[in-house]
Amino acid sequence: MMDNVDTRREINPALEPSTSLVCDTTQLPPLPCGWAVREYPLGDRTLRLTVPDRPDALLEDAEVLAANDRDDYMPYWAYLWPAAIHMSKAVLKADWPAGTRVLELGCGVGLVGVAARAKGCRVVMTDYDAKSVAVSLHNAKLNGFDDVEARELDWRVPPQETYPVILGCDLLYEQRNREASAGWRTADATSRISSGISLASEAMR
């Protein structure tokens, strides 16, 4: 059992509909808690996502425990946090031109990135965790979007490309992550990342 689990985050994931839908998850990596498919209403749009069925079960997984010992890793990607719901609704209402290039940092299960694609953006979803990348790409396709890119990226190390819009939810919940993000939160003429950065966090609202 992890000694440093923050129980405040365990009890505050986004409320999920009780209805579990049927979807082929055989192409996703196996999880000890299994996968479930649920729908998330976002105003005028409803998105369908494959998500870990009982993400708390990952906290006892041997692979997760070993990663936590190595790098203080936590499977935050497996939870759909309230900030992602709020940001997804805002993204769907944004006045960005069609085809706007969007980078999502820490994509989790892909809700915000899929919402951005539904808005008509060209989306690159990224996460530190390979399972997150796999399920986010799966969820883009589940909603009919085959042209979304998803790849592994440690957001603490800024990418080489520039993007007019950068999105991130609950990246800065822990103090150590706020310090690591200083290199890209402040953009200037020499920055590798553009200044259109939007962050959402339950703790920062």
pLDDT digits (tens, 9 = 90+) for 59-105: 999 999 998 999 888 898 999 988 899 999 999 999 999 999 999 98
> Edge to edge, what strands does the sheet with 149-152 contain?
149-152, 122-127, 101-105, 165-169, 197-200
pLDDT of residue 5: 44
The identity of residue 92, as a single letter, is L
Q: Are 159 and 153 in contact (CB under 8 A)?
A: yes
pLDDT of residue 183: 55
The domain ranges of the chain are: 7-204
Does domain 7-204 bear CATH number 3.40.50.150? yes
- Low pLDDT (below 50) residues in the chain: 1-19, 185-197, 199-205
| pTM for the structure as a whole | 0.79
Q: Are 196 and 184 in contact (CB under 8 A)?
A: no
Q: Are 132 and 108 in contact (CB under 8 A)?
A: yes
pLDDT of residue 123: 97
Maximum CA extent, the chain = 49
pLDDT of residue 193: 36
Q: How far apart are CA 70 and CA 143, in angstroms?
A: 36
Task: Tell me the HSE value of 118 on the side-chain side, using a 13 A CA sphere.
Answer: 25
Structure tokens at 31: 């999880």
pLDDT of residue 162: 83
